[in-house]
Amino acid sequence: MPRSMLWLLIAAPTIVLIIVFSVLLSQGGERQERRAEVRTSGEALVGGPFELVDHTGATVTQDSYAGKAMLIYFGYTYCPDICPFSLQVMAAAMDQLDADERARIQPILITVDAERDTHEQMASYVSSPAFPDGLVGLTGNEDQIAAVARAYRVVYQRAEDDGSGDYLMDHSSIIYLMDNDGRFVDVFSSNIDPRDLAQRLQDFLEDNPG
């Protein structure tokens, strides 16, 4: 398959997701400032239970982060550009929050490259000072990664390599905000301005103080 067609297949679901979520979020009246509120009707079917391994080697589930909002990005440690850029956007947004606000949000990277991203590899990667403080890296076997990607409507596929054994992963690139109970709240393009992302996070925290 031509690479241009492959990227179209990968990008199309992401674009559709963002459009659909944007339409859902815009409903409910003309508001000058949109707040990131948890929806109780017309809720998007994104997210759900998972069982993965964190970068310390511990088995975790969605309940491991109960009581905190989750800011989740799907990527992989060998990604040359878009993944580190997206995590830096998250970091820049989190840096604009105060200490109490940051403590209420757990940033998470879930790999789409189960073959190479062992928990040891994830541990080395998430420790980068360019990434959000306290970033958790989650990995698992192929079935576990496929299940969580399916739950979050993430599309990914291994790209053809050059025969050297090195390869890239084509994947959708969006950031998810989940509430303290693991329910979907909002979705953001990975190239969102960090100031806008920070404001959306503060709106959510203000609307959901508990």
> How large is the average pLDDT for residues 159-186?
89
Residue 153 vs residue 32, higher pLDDT: 153
pLDDT of res. 4 = 42
Mean pLDDT of 13-32: 41
pLDDT at 187 over 80: yes
Query: How much is the pLDDT for 25?
Result: 38
Local confidence band at 15 (pLDDT 50, 70, 90 cut-offs): very low
Give the separation between CA 204 and CA 210, rounded to whole angstroms. 11
**Any idea which of 22-36, 47-61, 84-98, 181-195 has the lowest mean pLDDT?**
22-36
pLDDT of residue 209: 87
Q: 3: part of which helix (H) or strand (E)?
A: helix 3-26
44 vs 32: which has the higher pLDDT:
44
* Percent of residues, the chain, with pLDDT higher than 90: 73
Residue 162 — very low, low, confident or very high, per pLDDT cuts 50/70/90?
Answer: low
* Residue 5 pLDDT level (bands cut at 50, 70, 90): very low
Do residues 89 and 190 make contact, with C-beta atoms less than 8 angstroms apart? yes
**What is the number of other CB atoms lying within 10 angstroms of the CB of residue 167?**
14
* Local structure of 129: helix, strand or coil: coil
Average pLDDT for the chain: 84
pTM above 0.85, yes or no: no
Q: What is the mean pLDDT of residues 54-70?
A: 97
Burial class (CB in 10 A: 0-12, 13-18, 19+), 94: buried
- pLDDT, tens digit, 9 for 90 and up, residues 83-105: 999 999 999 999 999 999 999 99
